[in-house]
Amino acid sequence: MTVILWLTLLQIKIPGVQTIDLSTVRHLYQRAPVVKQDAGQLNRLMLQVDSDTDAPVLLCYKGANEMIQAKYTLNPIIKLQKFNKGKKLIINAVNRDSLSLEIRFIRYSIQSNLPDFLGFHDELYTDKRFIDDNINNSKDAQLKEMIFNYLSAAKPDKFKL
């Protein structure tokens, strides 16, 4: 009886708390670097992500979001703060799940677009190799399409091995 009560309570949604749809996050992530409105929407979604309890992939998107938000910030000090916060979140996500194709792709896509002077590009080639080695094993069609679209549009010299 107690088990049934707990299972029922776990299914009740708490008002004001919504689950984050990964498909929406992926869509916004792809558009946020070029569409400011989508960057704002992604930022609102990522504010809901709890760095301690949510899935590592959401943590990684939260870190990437911080770096995207830096693009839309004029103050250089705040830009650097957002970059450092995003870097820390991405590193944390990778440490929590280093075998995730999506996490490694997010880190790769961020690192391949950052200026070299920021010094966050050490895993660029390792991630590219990991993506190449594992993309065909993924059963997530949306993720595969996102990765293929990104790689086909990327500058070829960014991922030479």
Residue 10: pLDDT band (50, 70, 90) is: very low
Kindly tell me if the per-residue pLDDT of 142 is higher than 90. Answer: yes
Q: How many CB atoms sit inside 10 A of residue 80's CB?
A: 13
Mean pLDDT of 75-83: 96
User: In sequence order, which residues have a C-beta less than 8 Å from that of residue 44 and are 6 or more positions away?
Assistant: none
